[in-house]
Structure 1
Amino acid sequence: MSDKEAIRLAATAVVLRDTPSGLEVLLLRRHEQLKVGGGHWVFPGGTVDPDDVADAQGDRMQAFRLAAVRETEEEAAINLAPEALQHISCWTTPAHMGRRFETAFFLADGQGMEVEVDGEEMDAHQWGAAADFVRAHCSGELALMPPTLVTLSELSQCATVEEARSFYASREIPDIHPKLADHQGAVCMLYGGDAGYCQHDPEAVGPRNRCYLENGVWRYEFLTS
């Protein structure tokens, strides 16, 4: 593996809150000039640094949790407790995509917390319903990366923080290694559980768990049969 393809560890916090109108999710906008995801709306997070690893004392998952807590505080001025984070997924950047990350996603309760972005890496924030964010992305109003889009699509099924916690607790935590393919001229990103994942064949008949890049916008497709 070349240095360009070396995988760095990272963590992100999916911060939720209950409101009278339903479940809301926190998104931050990455500054346009950033090399990775500039201009995209993301969950707070970043790379695991040496201090996180040292403080975790050999506990790999704890290092991820500490990174999620530290990055959320740095980017959004929100203080989270590592032990309260619920691990919900892990995403690894596909091969041959330049900078690669293995990112642990954690659910966090942000009820009553005030957000203040750092103004450097993140230049704006907004709370909103997951389904609204997905619709805004599909219409080209909101730039999202596939892991964010998939997570928001899942959260759109939940009405409260407790429902979201129960949803993720009821399934095995997925370790997602996307496979890129061309499907009828469109970029297709296959995930585990998709009928075409193992054979790297987007034409395979059966369940769907994939994203398509269409006119610069990702579209998530999930079908169980």
Structure 2
Amino acid sequence: MPKLPEELTLPKDYVADSPPAVPVTPKDSATVVLLRDAPSGIEVFLLRRVVGMAFAGGMTAFPGGGLDRRDADTSVAWAGPEPAWWARQFGCEPEMARALVCAAVRETFEEAGVLLAGPDGDSVVGDTSRYAESRAALVGRQVSLAQFLAEEGLVLRADLLRPWANWVTPVDEPRRHDTRFFVAALPEGQRADGVTTEAEDVEWNTPADALTAWREGRRGLLPPTWMTLAELAEHASVASALTADRQISKIIPRVVRDGSVIRAVLPGDPRYDAAPGHVDARPGDRIER
């Protein structure tokens, strides 16, 4: 794992002045890193979150969000690794694993217009503009993912996703997420549009160039995004990233204050054990929104 740079600091309003007396229970979430091959190398799809959002406003991130209760619907037509396989990758119960994969597919469609589904387990839809009304209905919670797929005769393609990481927001923070990161290739014939009220702008960029934009102050990155980009920068192609051997465990940064700046430190950093207010992750399979 690359080492977080000292220049990577947290926004001043990101951490409460005093940690909550009772740590906030992290909300289960899913994030999908969309990838494509380009002449300049592997590229990732990035959104700059709207300034003023309750969580990570103004930061550059990947599509994703919290679980909807209906993501646990077992009626979803499914192709690819079974929930039990995903459960082993992320260290959770199969029911939670199923909901996480469904949330990953739903959020990617809602925020990027990319749909990881097809008429059967061997195909994937092309142009997704025909599903614009359904996409809006998903965003408005008027339909569930299971309803949308059933109405359109589509099968969720779990095999188009790969597990990448699991980050948990530090205990000091008032809004916490237990986020499972997935990677997926942009399906042929589809385009990521970023038509979402949660993003100010979107772009495809190489991981190296995205990190340069952060270093030059043109993009704000939180530690999970920075780390994911740094790891992907080591891959020359989408195929390389999708076949990477990933051993996933929960990464729970701790927060340290260094004068006027706030930093996140990771296990292995000498400051980690000395950081105050930390509690270890507790297994939990509640699905809430």
SS at match of 1:153: helix
Within 2, Cα distance between the matches of 1:119 and 1:43?
A: 13
Q: Is the contact between residue 184 and residue 242 of structure 2 (CA under 8 Å) also seen in structure 1?
A: no
Within 2, Cα distance between the matches of 1:49 and 1:132?
A: 34
* CA-CA distance at 1:118 after TM superposition: 2.7
Within 2, Cα distance between the matches of 1:186 and 1:103?
A: 25
Alignment length (residue pairs): 198
* CA-CA distance at 1:10 after TM superposition: 0.4
**2:192 aligned residue (109, 115, 119):** 115
Within 1, Cα distance between the matches of 2:187 and 2:40?
A: 14
Within 1, Cα distance between the matches of 2:166 and 2:21?
A: 22
**Taking structure 2 as the reference length, what is the TM-score of the superposition?**
0.63
| Correspondence 1:54 to 2:73 | yes
**Taking structure 1 as the reference length, what is the TM-score of the superposition?**
0.80
Structure 2 residue identity aligned to 1:157: E
Alpha carbons of structure 1 residues 47 and 182: separation in structure 2 relative to 1, 3 Å: same
Listed as ranges, the matches of 1:81-92 within 5 Å are: 81-92=157-168
What residue is the counterpart of 1:209 in the other structure? none
* CA-CA distance at 1:19 after TM superposition: 1.4
Structure 1 residue identity aligned to 2:110: E
* Structure 1: 5+ residue stretches without partners: 202-225
Structure 2 residue identity aligned to 1:46: G
Percent identical:
34
More strand by share: 1
Listed as ranges, the matches of 1:1-225 within 5 Å are: 5-55=24-74, 59-80=95-116, 81-112=157-188, 113-167=190-244, 169=245, 171-183=246-258, 186-197=261-272, 199-200=273-274
Within 1, Cα distance between the matches of 2:254 and 2:22?
A: 20
What residue is the counterpart of 1:211 in the other structure? none
Write out the 4+ residue segments of structure 1 that deviate beyond 4 Å after TM superposition. 1-4, 183-186
* Structure 2: 5+ residue stretches without partners: 1-19, 77-82, 84-93, 117-156, 276-289
Within 1, Cα distance between the matches of 2:60 and 2:214?
A: 10
* Greater RCO, 1 or 2 (C-alpha within 8 Å, sep 6+): 2
| CA deviation profile, 1:45-86 (whole Å, cap 9, x unmatched) | 000110012338952112111101101100110012323211
Structure 2 residue identity aligned to 1:152: L
For structure 1, which segment, 140-149 or 80-89, has the greater mean C-alpha deviation from structure 2 after superposition? 80-89
